[in-house]
Amino acid sequence: GTGSNILSALQDLFWLLKSKAEKQLQIISVLQWVLTFLIMGIACTLILMYILCTDCWAIAALYLAWLVFDWNTPKKGGRRSQWVRNWAIWRYFRDYFPIRLVKTHNLLTTRNYIFGYHPHGIMGLGAFCNFSTEATGVSQKFPGIRPYLATLAGNFRMPILRDYLMSGGICPVNRDSIDYILSKNGSGNAIIIVVGGAAESLNCTPGKNSVTLKNRKGFVKLALRHGADLVPVYSFGENEVYKQVIFEEGSWGRWVQKKFQKHIGFAPCIFHGRGLFSSNTWGLLPYSKPITTVVGEPITIPKIDNPSQKDVDFYHSVYVDSLIKLFDKYKSKFGLPETEVLEVN
């Protein structure tokens, strides 16, 4: 009767309001991460400098003293926090796209690993969500494996930002840090390196599946020196969440980007996503496109203290072949046509 109809209408209204609230929380969770990626380091540095010039200078001085004392912590595995990695905000972050992590093989806790993550995209959203948070269940899918996402060492010179990054298990992508994790931190470690780096980000655009890999062999040499198995990882949809202005080789825009890349370590991209209040306007929020990260089969790597160039070239070719096979095996499952080819540059 009338009572049932009213109850049904109230239930529909409740679920509608709940759905809208969840969508807003998803947008907020992604927005805070984008702002963290773009401005947190600079903002915290400026705020710290300002506090030094106020009556609260002692607070800033104490933090700076702590910073000096704690300077080398990022190079020694950092200071991860399971509490931060399990924040509810990361689940909203995951659901905004949504982001999924697909396991194809088991990983032994008696081995160490270097994951090669492809492609970089604009911000490496899949890499962050899957390996620096527990939103997609990385610890449940790979029990006993500790993931370390490697990023620019310069981020760890920024006050506050460095501590925020370390809490998620993020480490500098430099030799000292990687050597420490793979040689002095026991077994069961997995370092995730976005192999293409800034150079790859310059070419990412929706509908394009290409990786910068042909001349990227340093991660293979590191794997050989430590006997760490190589694991190819491909993130379907990583290039779909932002649109970018691509400058042609030889243009002034590409020249500026390469200069930044060479001297600072990152390349400034001109990109846009959707607006905060509407998906039909331009803004900094990524488009809500699915990102599916597939972790491939590990490649067993021998330990060679001083690997020759021949050794590096051989295992690099094995890795490239494995990545292409991984892409070809799963491309049709995640929306790509069978004719799609992974471009290796």
Tens digits of residue pLDDT in 62-80: 999 999 999 999 999 999 9
Q: What is the mean pLDDT of residues 17-41?
A: 89
For the chain, percent of residues with pLDDT exceeding 90: 77
pLDDT at 6: 63
pLDDT at 138: 97
Residue 1: CA count within 13 A, CB half-sphere: 1
pLDDT at 1: 56
Q: What is the mean pLDDT of residues 254-283?
A: 81
User: Confidence band (pLDDT; 50, 70, 90) for 334?
Assistant: very high
Identity of residue 79: R
Three-state SS letters, 91-119: HHHHHHCCEEEEECCCCCCCCCEEEEEEC
Q: What is the mean pLDDT of residues 42-62?
A: 94
pLDDT at 100: 98
pLDDT at 311: 97
200 vs 230, higher pLDDT: 230
CB 235 within 8 A of CB 330: no
User: Confidence band (pLDDT; 50, 70, 90) for 85?
Assistant: very high
pLDDT at 14: 58
11 vs 88, higher pLDDT: 88
Nearest-Å Rg of the Cα atoms of the chain is 22
Please list, in sequence order, all residues whose beta carbon lies within 8 angstroms of the beta carbon of residue 223, skipping any fewer than 6 positions away: 114, 229, 230, 301, 315
The most confident of 37-41, 57-61, 130-134, 332-336, by mean pLDDT = 130-134
Structure tokens, 305: 């203290």
Q: Which letter, b or e, does each residue of 274-294 get, where b requires 16 or more Cβ atoms within 10 Å of its Cβ?
A: beeeeeeeeebbbebbebbbb
Read off the pLDDT of residues 34-43 as tens digits, 9 standing for 90 and up.
Answer: 999 889 999 9
For the chain, percent of residues with pLDDT exceeding 70: 94
Please list, in sequence order, all residues whose beta carbon lies within 8 angstroms of the beta carbon of residue 202, skipping any fewer than 6 positions away: 246, 247, 254, 257, 261, 267, 269
Read off the pLDDT of residues 93-151 as tens digits, 9 standing for 90 and up.
Answer: 999 999 999 999 999 999 999 999 999 999 999 999 999 999 999 999 999 999 999 99
Rounded Cα distance, 179 and 184, in Å: 8
pLDDT at 273: 92
Please list, in sequence order, all residues whose beta carbon lies within 8 angstroms of the beta carbon of residue 211, skipping any fewer than 6 positions away: 118, 119, 195, 196, 200, 323, 342, 343, 344, 345
* Long-range contacts, 122-125 (Cβ 8 Å, 24+): 122/201, 122/204, 122/241, 122/242, 122/244, 122/269, 122/271, 122/286, 123/34, 123/37, 123/242, 123/286, 124/194, 124/238, 125/97, 125/99, 125/238, 125/241, 125/286, 125/291
Q: Name the least confident of 16-30, 163-177, 191-205.
A: 16-30
User: Confidence band (pLDDT; 50, 70, 90) for 306?
Assistant: very high
pLDDT at 269: 82
User: Confidence band (pLDDT; 50, 70, 90) for 258?
Assistant: confident
pLDDT at 196: 92
Which among 74, 177, 165, 182 has a CA at the least distance from the CA of 128? Answer: 165
166 vs 266, higher pLDDT: 166
pTM of the model: 0.91
Rounded Cα distance, 106 and 265, in Å: 34
Rounded Cα distance, 296 and 325, in Å: 9
Rounded Cα distance, 85 and 129, in Å: 10
